Structure 1
Amino acid sequence: MTQPAVVSSHPATHSPSTVGAQQLRHPTPNPTHRRHPVHHDRSSVFTALQSLLHLIVIAIFIITFCVQPFRIPSESMESTLLVGDFLLVDKQAAAPDGAGTLLPTAAIRRGDIIVFHDPVDASLHLVKRVIGLPGDHLRLRDGRVYINGHALTEPYAVYRPSPPDNFRDNFPRLHSADPEIDSHWWIRMRSLIENNELIIPTGNYFVLGDNRNDSEDSRYWGFVPREAIVGKPLVIYFSLQTHDPDDTDGYGGNDGTGASLAQSATATPTRRHPGKIDSVVDFARWGRTFQVVR
């Protein structure tokens, strides 16, 4: 069997040329020493994929049952919520009594902002502020809200100049109605008026937009049932800048009704005036990012 060449430790026994040749010679590998392939640890790859899958499942669970993103495309909640705001809504905080919850729950209180199913079209979501609670006697006089005979302090309410509207500003009224009012609500409302005040039934809430002169709310379509409430906005996680108040596109111009539709954040908006946003700085309202909703 051929042995690997070894550089001798006694160079005097070799001629200079021989020594040089031996010093440049590489050892011959022993054919009996076979190389074994290196196997990758497949279990570690599987573990990583399994962890990723668990994270995806948890994320889907949280979005489905705990929080949900929405965006604001109309002006009826200004200036609390602006056109182009993206919200995270806590679905557990407003869960009905008896429902299994993971996060702390709280009763619906006057002044709370809520997201709920549109009483007229349950496939849509609206966002408004709770003004009247079950059992309250409510009326509006010259746009100001009175609950159980007392004027309500509303630092969040905005009154933009607009033509007088008796139905909107002096609610409820038995002898006149706005053409935008839901016919079923008009009939029901008349049966709930006592001494010029609207009595709110058990299990129902009266809601208004903060932008009082440009909001389609409980004055026009009635109460919000407790079971229709989806959740309470937690935080504005992003806010897109808007430059055209008449823009009705998905970035959130006036939708023509002031309905303050809380659209799903996954909806794809289209912009009619892309040239109006010239830089990343103009593209977003960075100061509103991560602002708590109150």
Structure 2
Amino acid sequence: MKKYKNVVLFLLIVLVFSLTIRINTLPVLVDGRSMEPTLYDHDFFLSNRNSIKSLKRFDIVVAYSHQLNENTVKRVIGMPFDKMEYRDNKLYINGQYIKEPFLQDSMTNDFTITLKKNQYFLMGDNRLHSTDSRELGPFSLQDISSRDGVIVFPLSHFKNIQ
């Protein structure tokens, strides 16, 4: 009888642990090249569901696109009430130049947008191959389901993403 108690206790611990992980993390499989070189096609990562209350500029987020009818992985570029401008491939927020150190040789066409309350402008790191807020428009906080995470597969890409 004691043997069964140990098995039941072990299974209960595994169940609680699994549920805790499932509730707090969002498993994400990257589909496409829009976040290269930060994330690559078919990278699998676990993203933190509990951290969206503290969004910051340049966080990597998972957001639901109503136009695409799917989740998408992008980087937060614009925050509520920002006046964003891309001019000569450079980002200006409220008139101040903001360096984007994660970009390599990425081209961003000129545009200007002023975000409203609860609006976030999301873009991919690989601007030439990214369908993002430039086409989809701003995302609301309710559309954003998780932030940052850990790449767990392939093992050669294992790293913390922030």
**TM-score normalised by L of structure 1:** 0.51
2:26 maps to 1:47: no
2:72 maps to 1:132: no
2:53 maps to 1:113: no
Counterpart CA distance in 1 for 2:118 and 2:104 is: 28
Contact 1:112 1:129 in 2 (8 A): yes
Counterpart CA distance in 2 for 1:116 and 1:44 is: 48
Q: Quick one: which of 68, 83, 95 aligns to 1:149? A: 95
1:53 is displaced (CA, Å) by 2.8
Counterpart CA distance in 1 for 2:74 and 2:92 is: 18
Which structure: larger Rg?
1
Counterpart CA distance in 2 for 1:228 and 1:64 is: 19
1:121 is displaced (CA, Å) by 4.0
1:63 is displaced (CA, Å) by 3.6
Counterpart of 2:149 in 1: which secondary structure? strand
Counterpart CA distance in 2 for 1:157 and 1:135 is: 24
Contact 1:65 1:92 in 2 (8 A): no
Q: Which has the higher strand share?
A: 2
Counterpart of 1:53 in 2: which secondary structure? helix
Counterpart CA distance in 2 for 1:58 and 1:227 is: 27
| Equivalent AA in structure 2 for residue 224 of structure 1 | F
1:93 is displaced (CA, Å) by 1.1
Q: Percent identity?
A: 29
How do 1:1-294 and structure 2 match up within 5 A? 43-94=1-52, 107-122=54-69, 124-160=70-106, 169-171=109-111, 197-239=112-154, 286=156, 288-289=157-158, 291-294=159-162
Partner of 1:18: none
Aligned positions, number: 162
Counterpart of 2:50 in 1: which secondary structure? coil
Counterpart CA distance in 2 for 1:142 and 1:51 is: 62
**Moved >6 Å (runs of 4+):** none
| Equivalent AA in structure 1 for residue 120 of structure 2 | Y
- Structure 1 stretch displaced more, 113-122 or 224-233: 113-122
Gaps of 5+ in 1: 1-42, 97-106, 162-167, 172-196, 240-284
Counterpart CA distance in 1 for 2:17 and 2:144 is: 22
1:68 is displaced (CA, Å) by 2.2
How has the CA–CA distance of structure 1 residues 121 and 160 changed in structure 2, closer, same or farther, with 3 Å as cutoff? closer
- Structure 1 stretch displaced more, 51-60 or 76-85: 51-60
| Equivalent AA in structure 2 for residue 169 of structure 1 | N
Counterpart CA distance in 1 for 2:78 and 2:18 is: 34
Counterpart CA distance in 2 for 1:225 and 1:208 is: 14
1:160 is displaced (CA, Å) by 4.7
1:293 is displaced (CA, Å) by 0.6
